[in-house]
Structure 1
Amino acid sequence: MSSGPAGRAARSSVQPLTRAQSPVRQRVTLRTQDGVAIEAAYEPGQGAPGGTAIVLAHGFSGAVDRPHVRRIAAVFAQRAAVITFSFRGHGASGGHSTVGDREVLDVAAAVEWARSLGHAHVVTVGFSMGGSVVLRHGASHRGRMEARADAVVAVSAPARWFYRGTAPMRRLHWIVTRPAGRVVGRFGLRTRIHPHEWDPVPLSPVESVPLIAPAPLLVVHGTRDPYFPVDHPRMLAAAAREGAELWLEEGMGHAEHAVSDELAGRIAAWATASWTSATAD
């Protein structure tokens, strides 16, 4: 599903197609390094000006204006500024979904936008597919100040590619890999999916985790996730070179829909505290 290895040496553009001059609530269109137009929104939130910004990376078939994404963003905004965006192939963004490959460029563009608005501390928080993307982004962009994440949170993320061990994942693979499935994705899920297989296969989430350090990493997963069983988050946490926090949430299902306001608040608190800890060190 790719014309090249997005997460290894690619760069993304900080320049939005439209931009306000001050960090106030705004909607813009960002342009990624490979030329895809990405819709994005900024909420100043209740954090300190220039402090933490949370970049929220939604799951497959989500978008910036979906109610479950807006709910999580509203909770995050109680503690920090929040940038939401629609991955390529989703919502009003251009392009086609590559289901976790070139989406790292979408995250990079959002992080660069946060830096351009004056935020000194940027935390990426991804859900499901978005979780795999922020892990890969954290590994591939750690050397670029303007595009790197200062901390990473992966919620309900897979550890490895091509997993088909649950019925929901088998259905998702049918949607992604079959022509009829992609029609269902386009009209039923409002998601435009790239028709080609990955070439090359991108670095997997569990292979990416060791490369994220020294940035703090938080892995959040539900014990009743119908997509990915708990061996996935345990693999991710175990792969971290300098250790990662693992929150196994009892009874929680999958991704944004399953994250309570209380849990979202705890994630936002961890995101802002990760800056306090870094500056204290």
Structure 2
Amino acid sequence: MSNRPAGHVACSTVRPNRETDRRAPIRTFLRTADGIPVDSVYDPGPVVYEAPPQAPDASPSPSSSSSRDVVFVVAHGFTGDADRPHVRRVAGVLRGYGAVVTFSFRGHGRSGGRSTVGDKEVLDLAAAVEWARGFHHARVVTVGFSMGGSVVLRHAALRPGTVDAVVSVSAPARWYYRGTAPMRRLHWLVTRPEGRLVSRYGLRTRIHHRDWDPVPLSPVEAVPRLAPTPLLLVHGDRDGYFPLDHPRMLAEAAGDHGELWVEPGMGHAEHAADDALVARIGDWAVSAAG
């Protein structure tokens, strides 16, 4: 892995303009600061030429001017990618609240490189956020799930001021957690040669064989650095990967600038986040990023 500093991102040659916002989705490869091609998709939000009049006490509708200048950048979980049905479903719901950028982390889907399970993935998200900014949207909201949830926290902490709100769903608070059976299986996939083979051919996820060096900033260490950027933490009370002490640690670290939703009956990440929850996230983000 490159040790080049995470500075400017060399993006694709696709140059967004105001007219592209009104066309079909755009798909391209972005190039990260360390040279990894990242498969990325831009879905325009609802085109509104004139916002309908509303009562003074009415909440903004998803198609009103309050959401037209918002772009959501969705960071999927481990073994996901931009084409997975659950990622497309989440993007479809959020598209009612603004434009949406989805992408595949390194080592996932059609992107290049190998997964570092949350470390160098910050560079992938940085490339996607910079691309999203180029579509003339005034506000950028990152929405991450599981591994992606940890990445959006670290990205906002390491690059203050680059996003306007952060939503982290089903994220861990600390590294190397092995307290549940699913996490023990994940560690086998990541740390064992035979596990990485299973991941490559069975899960379409290519994992780097090197250990972290240095160990990246943990999510719970990153959260205090987000202020004053609005932060929403979402976690299910039936999450089989990370029990409730993880979101509670994150919420405590966030203090007054963070909000925690503990969702009754919800499991883990994108698969467990139903359309109603994603819509509530969209509502929160449009309001918080204003």
User: Please, what TM-score do these two structures have when normalized by structure 1?
Assistant: 0.92
What CA distance in whole angstroms lies between the structure 2 residues aligned with 1:52 and 1:100? 25
In the other structure, the counterpart of 2:260 is: 246
**Runs of 4+ deviating beyond 3 Å:** 17-21, 47-50
**Partners of 1:64 and 1:12 in 2: CA distance:** 23
Q: Could you tell me which residue of structure 1 aligns to residue 250 of structure 2?
A: 236
Q: Corresponding residue for 1:93?
A: 111
**1:279 aligned residue:** none
CA gap of 1:224–1:212, structure 2 versus 1, over 3 A, is same
Q: How does 1:153-172 map to 2 (within 5 A)?
A: 153-172=167-186
Contact 1:18 1:30 in 2 (8 A): no
Q: Which residue is 2:145 aligned to?
A: 127
Deviation at 1:28, TM superposition (A): 1.1
2:97 counterpart (66, 79, 97): 79
CA contact (8 A) 2:45 2:68 kept: no
In 2: Cα distance, 1:50 partner to 1:260 partner: 23
Q: Given the alignment of the two structures, is residue 58 of structure 1 paired with residue 76 of structure 2, yes or no? A: yes
Which of 11, 33, 52 is the aligned partner of 2:7? 11
Deviations along 1:227-279, whole A, 9 cap, x unmatched?
A: 00000000001001443100000010000000010000000111111123xxx
Letter in 1 for 2:31: R
Cα distance in 2, alignment partners of residues 232 and 271 from structure 1: 22
Give the SS at the match of 1:240: helix
Q: Pick 1 or 2: higher relative contact order, CA cutoff 8 A, min separation 6.
A: 1
Tell me, what secondary structure is at the counterpart of 1:200? Answer: coil
Q: What is residue 271 of structure 2 aligned with on the other side?
A: 257
More displaced stretch, 166-175 vs 40-49 = 40-49
Partner of 2:155: 137
Q: Larger radius of gyration, structure 1 or 2? A: 2
- CA deviation digits over 1:57-93, x for unaligned, max 9? 0000000000000000000001111000000000000
Alpha-carbon distance, 1:45 to partner:
1.5
Provide the rounded CA distance (Å) in 2 between the counterparts of 1:265 and 1:117: 23
Paired with 2:8 and 2:176, the residues of 1 have a C-alpha distance of 27
Choose which of 207, 227, 242 in structure 1 pairs with 2:241.
Answer: 227
Identity of aligned residues (%): 62
Residues 223 and 230 of structure 1 are in contact (CA less than 8 Å); yes or no, is this contact kept in structure 2? Answer: yes
Aligned to 1:212: 226
CA distance in 1, matches of 2:79, 2:241: 15
- Tell me if structure 1 keeps the 8 A contact 2:106–2:114: yes
Match of 2:203 in 1: 189
Answering whether residue 85 of structure 2 is matched by residue 67 of structure 1, we say yes
Q: Give the letter aligned to residue 270 of structure 2.
A: E
Q: What per-residue deviation string (whole Å, max 9, x for no partner) do you get for residues 177-227 of structure 1? A: 000000000001100000000000000000000001110000000000000
Separation of aligned partners in 1, 2:122 and 2:234: 20
Q: Secondary structure at the match of 1:83?
A: strand
> d(CA) in 2 for partners of 1:19 and 1:96?
27
1:260-271 aligned at under 5 Å gives the runs 260-271=274-285
Contact kept, 8 Å, 1:104 with 1:133, in 2: the verdict is yes
Alpha-carbon shift at residue 3 of structure 1 (Å): 4.8
Q: 1:180 aligns with which of 186, 189, 194?
A: 194
TM-superposed deviation, 1:18: 3.9
Find the aligned partners of 1:14 and 1:130 in 2 and give their Cα distance.
22
Report the residue type matching 1:209 in the other structure.
Answer: V
RMSD value, Cα = 1.5
Assess if the C-alpha contact under 8 Å between 2:38 and 2:124 holds in 1: yes
Mapped partners of 1:101, 1:192: distance in 2: 14
Segments of 5+ residues of structure 1 without an aligned counterpart are: 277-281
Tell me which residue corresponds to 2:31. Answer: 31
Q: Which amino acid aligns with 1:45?
A: G
- Name which of 111, 120, 127 aligns with 1:109: 127
Unaligned 5+ runs, structure 2: 47-62
- Aligned twin of 1:199: 213
Indicate the SS of the match to 1:169. helix
Q: TM-score, length-normalised on structure 2?
A: 0.89
